[in-house]
Structure 1
Amino acid sequence: MRRKKEVDIVKVSRLRKLRKEVDEHLISGKEYEARLRGQHAKLNPFTGWANMDRKTPHPGASDAESDAWCPTV
């Protein structure tokens, strides 16, 4: 049987920023994960260059460079 996890977000000072209300102390593990993801998204805005399609050639790349990437040994 799986036990539900709870996280005390007041005990650790770094986690206090995850509170939605001042008197909130314990949150479920799933809610903790969701709030961490939200905080990460807030601090690290979307970067379009990181999600470029691999088949799309990079601007300024020659045809030979955009066909395939082969590391040199």
Structure 2
Amino acid sequence: MAEPRWVGVFRVEGIRRDHNGACELRIGDSLGVDGLAYFPPGVQVPPVGEGSKQYTPFDGPWYRYEFVADYID
């Protein structure tokens, strides 16, 4: 995605899709979160402390995510 675009009420700065059907929409800090993620039924949500993002339930299969500030890859 070259330029940010509006998807509904969200200004999306980037989209990432996984092979398992999961999808992340990077929305910046416009709502106090870094993005929204969709995990289809049967796809495991990464547990807290695993990876650079922390996922919080939002609505059904949708989750909010925030980047973990002290994560070192």
TM-score normalised by the chain length of structure 2: 0.23
Structure with greater Cα Rg: 1
More strand by proportion, 1 or 2? 2
TM-score (norm 1): 0.23
**Greater share of helix:** 1
